[in-house]
């Protein structure tokens, strides 16, 4: 007898230790699988049937995304979130099969079709205004300037940027980054980003090992106790949002939007998709493929703007 609850615990340990998944990923998988087990109310993998899986798909499709306020319509889980549940379940069933335990065939789980994802992008002028927004007469401004320049120079994820330490060797302009799944990749730092980072680090008088730290008054007491005040991903997101407002950018602007701008800038200037995949740290080139839709639209716009002039003669 292999109870599902025990198999789930083993699976979560497996993806954390052997697959090297992050604590956040393990927590998300735990959430998705717990939701399924609470729904199924069975203990044996062999008790999971095709009918049960169909009913679970309906359950997810109708499940509230969050508690609705009085008088508001209930918002249900979007297709992307439903698919996260199914991906976790499929991985779990594959693990069960690998253990030699009879259960539901993971290959029978098909993901819901989703609308093609559209990228949030900012224009070249908006990007320039964003980079110029920090007040570099203050140490916080020097830090924020370095953050923005580093984002656009490297295409780092916000979690990757926050994990950087100040003892990085910046002399070569190349930095090894440990990304998702513990995979290592090399990113390249532009002259502007390198200059901004060096100016920020030169202004630091603390001993915190983190590359980017909190310089607010409330962080001072923690510094005195020699506690790290490393910036969190959420604080960096708020930082980018702040400067987007200062720069007059009305649309959504986040660290990930700058990452999108990094990728599309490479493609506009002739980089191939495989190169962009490596620089972004995507496990699959299919994830990078979305950027070709943006560049194809850009090329069509350029064609209609310049080449179609011949039709008007």
Nearest Cα residue to 242 out of 224, 255, 232, 229? 255
Are 49 and 18 within one domain? yes
> Between these two residues, 247 and 300, which has the higher pLDDT value?
247
**How many CB atoms within 10 Å of residue 158?**
23
Are 166 and 258 within one domain? yes
Domain assignment present for residue 45? The answer is yes
Q: Which CATH number do you get for residue 225? A: 1.10.443.10
Nearest Cα residue to 45 out of 95, 88, 83, 82? 95
The yes-or-no answer on residue 180 being catalytic is yes
Domain assignment present for residue 114? The answer is no
Catalytic residue among 85, 90, 260, 282: 282
State the residue range of the domain holding 132.
124-304
Listed residues 41, 73, 108: the one ending a domain: 108
Q: Which CATH number do you get for residue 71? A: 1.10.150.130
- The strand ranges marked E within the chain are 174-178, 184-188
Q: What percent of the chain has pLDDT over 70?
A: 88
Catalytic residue among 97, 204, 242, 256: 256
| Tens-place pLDDT, residues 104-118 | 999 999 887 766 556
Catalytic residue among 29, 32, 200, 291: 291
Residue 222's SS3 state is helix
Are 10 and 61 within one domain? yes
Dist CA 55 CA 53 (whole Å): 5
pLDDT at 183 over 60: yes
The yes-or-no answer on residue 291 being catalytic is yes
Least confident segment among 30-39, 140-149, 268-277: 268-277
pLDDT for 305: 59
Whether 148 and 258 have beta carbons less than 8 Å apart is answered as yes
Catalytic residue among 180, 199, 222, 242: 180
* Residue 65 CA, distance from chain mean position: 20
pLDDT for 268: 80
pLDDT for 121: 80
Domain assignment present for residue 311? The answer is no
Listed residues 45, 80, 108: the one ending a domain: 108
Listed residues 45, 73, 108: the one ending a domain: 108
Task: Return the exposure string of 228-237: e unless at least 16 CB atoms fall within 10 Å of the residue's CB, then b.
Answer: ebbbebeebe
pLDDT at 174 over 70: yes
pLDDT for 112: 77
Nearest Cα residue to 123 out of 241, 253, 211? 253
The yes-or-no answer on residue 307 being catalytic is no
Q: How much is the average pLDDT of 149-169?
A: 92
Domain assignment present for residue 310? The answer is no
As a 3-state breakdown, the chain gives helix, strand, coil percent values, each rounded to 5, of 60, 5, 35
pLDDT for 286: 79
Q: Which two tokens stand for residue 260?
A: 């999108």
Are 104 and 212 within one domain? no
Catalytic residue among 85, 157, 215, 260: 157
Q: How many domains does the chain have?
A: 2
Q: Which two tokens stand for residue 192?
A: 């502007």
pTM of the model: 0.67
Catalytic residue among 90, 143, 215, 259: 259
Are 72 and 152 within one domain? no
Q: How much is the average pLDDT of 110-132?
A: 81
Residue 191's SS3 state is helix
Are 249 and 169 within one domain? yes
Dihedral of the CA atoms 13, 25, 288, 172 (nearest 10)? -90
> Where residue 194 falls among pLDDT bands split at 50, 70, 90?
very high
* Distances in whole angstroms, Cα of residue 213 to Cα of each of 11, 185, 223, 244, 285: 36, 24, 10, 20, 34
pLDDT at 271 over 60: yes
Are 152 and 294 within one domain? yes
Are 188 and 77 within one domain? no
Are 52 and 142 within one domain? no
The yes-or-no answer on residue 259 being catalytic is yes
Q: What percent of the chain has pLDDT over 90?
A: 51
Least confident segment among 28-42, 49-63, 117-131, 199-213: 117-131
> Between these two residues, 8 and 119, which has the higher pLDDT value?
8
> Between these two residues, 95 and 294, which has the higher pLDDT value?
95
| Tens-place pLDDT, residues 255-266 | 999 999 898 888
pLDDT at 34 over 90: yes
Domain assignment present for residue 11? The answer is yes
pLDDT for 307: 55
Domain assignment present for residue 116? The answer is no
The yes-or-no answer on residue 85 being catalytic is no
Are 42 and 163 within one domain? no
Are 98 and 143 within one domain? no
Are 146 and 279 within one domain? yes
Domain assignment present for residue 87? The answer is yes
Domain assignment present for residue 36? The answer is yes
């Amino acid at each position: 007898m292999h109870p599902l609850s025990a198999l789930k615990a083993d699976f979560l340990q497996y993806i954390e230790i052997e697959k090297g998944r992050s604590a956040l990923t393990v927590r998300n998988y735990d959430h998705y699988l717990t939701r399924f087990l609470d729904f199924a109310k069975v203990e044996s993998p062999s008790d999971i049937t095709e009918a049960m899986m169909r009913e679970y798909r309906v359950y997810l499709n109708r499940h509230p995304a969050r508690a609705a306020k009085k008088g508001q319509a209930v918002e249900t889980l979007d297709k992307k979130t439903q698919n996260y549940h199914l991906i976790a379940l499929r991985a779990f069933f594959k693990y069960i099969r690998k253990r030699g335990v009879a259960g539901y065939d993971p290959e029978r789980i098909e993901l819901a079709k989703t609308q093609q994802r559209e990228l949030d992008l900012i224009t070249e002028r908006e990007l320039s205004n964003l980079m110029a927004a920090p007040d570099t007469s203050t140490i916080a401004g020097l830090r924020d300037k370095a953050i923005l320049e580093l984002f656009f120079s490297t295409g780092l994820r916000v979690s990757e940027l926050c994990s950087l330490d100040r003892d990085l060797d910046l002399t070569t302009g190349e930095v090894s980054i440990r990304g998702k799944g513990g995979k290592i990749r090399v990113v390249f730092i532009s002259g502007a980003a390198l200059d901004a980072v060096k100016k920020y680090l030169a202004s630091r008088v603390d001993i915190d090992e983190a590359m980017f730290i909190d310089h607010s008054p409330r962080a001072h007491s923690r510094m005195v106790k020699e506690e790290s005040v490393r910036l969190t991903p959420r604080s960096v997101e708020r930082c980018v949002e702040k400067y987007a407002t200062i720069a007059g950018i009305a649309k959504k602007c986040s660290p990930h939007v700058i990452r999108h701008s990094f990728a599309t800038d490479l493609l506009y200037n002739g980089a191939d998709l495989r190169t962009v995949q490596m620089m972004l740290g995507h496990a699959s080139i299919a994830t990078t493929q979305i950027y070709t839709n943006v560049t194809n639209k850009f090329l069509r716009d350029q064609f209609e703007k310049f080449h179609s002039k011949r039709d008007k003669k």
